[in-house]
């Protein structure tokens, strides 16, 4: 692979933006408050290998879930880039319902 192509691929990976998937079981606007639960989950080979389960019943202690989010942050992208895709973390967040 030529040096120019390698540099272009590396720049493309480094300049990728953040991405997130947000689920609100009852609909409505996306929450921006601090989540009840936040953790980085490990994936490998550009996210093709790895599977994680998050027990929202345990996290929310029966209160119900207000919002779930899987997020690919700049920091996640940086770690993926410097490991050439071998390690590709994603951030998981859960918001529990208040006072139920």
The upper half-sphere exposure of residue 75, i.e. CA atoms within 13 Å in the direction of its Cβ, equals 5
Confidence of residue 93 (pLDDT cuts 50, 70, 90): very high
Rounded to the nearest angstrom, the gap between the alpha carbon of residue 51 and the centroid of all alpha carbons in its chain is: 13
Confidence of residue 5 (pLDDT cuts 50, 70, 90): low
Residue 66 above 80 pLDDT? yes
Please check whether residue 80 is in contact with residue 91, taking contact to mean a CB–CB distance below 8 angstroms: no
Query: Parallel, antiparallel, or unpaired for β 65-72 and 37-41?
Result: unpaired
User: What is the spatial distance between Cα 6 and Cα 15, in angstroms, rounded to a whole number?
Assistant: 14
Give the per-residue pLDDT at 8: 64
Model pLDDT for residues 12-56, shown as the tens digit of each residue: 555 556 777 787 887 788 888 888 999 888 888 877 888 888 888
Q: Measure the N-to-C terminal CA separation of the chain; round to a whole number of Å.
A: 58
Model pLDDT for residues 72-91, shown as the tens digit of each residue: 888 888 888 888 889 988 88
Give the per-residue pLDDT at 67: 86
């Amino acid at each position: 692979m030529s040096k120019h192509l390698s540099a272009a691929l590396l720049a493309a990976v480094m300049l990728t933006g953040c991405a997130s998937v947000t689920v609100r079981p009852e609909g409505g606007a996306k929450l921006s408050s601090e989540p009840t639960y936040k953790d980085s989950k490990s994936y490998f080979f550009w996210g093709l290998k790895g599977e994680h389960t998050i027990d929202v019943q345990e996290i929310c202690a029966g209160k119900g879930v207000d919002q779930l989010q899987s997020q690919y942050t700049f920091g996640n992208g940086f770690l993926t880039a410097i490991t050439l895709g071998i390690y590709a973390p994603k951030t998981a967040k859960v918001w529990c319902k208040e006072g139920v």
